[in-house]
């Protein structure tokens, strides 16, 4: 499982010019699943994301989590995170989890996250336009 975490001041996702998910201060997650991913890896990643201290405290030090700041999460499915470009110039997605399985894990990921924090999403498999106001910019890549 690979997640690109971006600290955000505000972000949204739209499909066919209609906003389907929107957050104020919090995290944007670009989420991709590998063929070997499991629920255990998913649980690890949720815990890591919720406790990741990348928001400033009163001294300007990144010492607070998204939970600490009462932030929100915008979760976007992105199978292209598992693009393999080692051979040629056209990416291969052979290591990305197949659509049906990935959608199940993605929905479970968001369900479990939403038990702890407000979560907005796009629509799995759709052509989405994601508008991110990255704060910092702060971008962290997590992999499990």
Respond yes or no: is residue 78 known to be catalytic: yes
Could you say which of 78, 85, 100, 139 is catalytic? 78
Sign of CA dihedral 141, 90, 33, 36: negative
Respond yes or no: is residue 133 known to be catalytic: no
Could you say which of 6, 33, 55, 79 is catalytic? 79
Do residues 46 and 5 make contact, with C-beta atoms less than 8 angstroms apart? no
Give DSSP secondary structure letters for 77-114.
E-GGGG-B-SSSSS-B-TTBPPHHHHHHHHHHHHHHHH
Respond yes or no: is residue 55 known to be catalytic: no
Catalytic residues: 78-80
């Amino acid at each position: 499982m690979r997640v690109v975490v971006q600290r955000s001041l505000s972000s949204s996702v739209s499909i066919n010019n209609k906003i389907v998910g929107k957050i104020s201060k919090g995290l944007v997650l670009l989420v991709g699943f590998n063929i070997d991913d499991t629920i255990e890896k998913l649980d690890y990643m949720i815990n890591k994301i919720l406790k990741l201290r990348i928001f400033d405290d009163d001294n300007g030090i990144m010492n607070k989590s998204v939970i600490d700041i009462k932030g929100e999460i915008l979760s976007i499915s992105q199978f292209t995170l598992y693009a393999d470009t080692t051979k040629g110039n056209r990416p291969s997605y052979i290591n990305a989890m197949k659509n049906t399985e990935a959608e199940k894990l993605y929905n479970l990921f968001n369900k479990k996250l939403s038990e702890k924090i407000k979560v907005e999403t796009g629509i799995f498999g759709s052509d989405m336009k994601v508008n991110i106001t990255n704060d910092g910019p702060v971008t962290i890549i997590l992999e499990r």
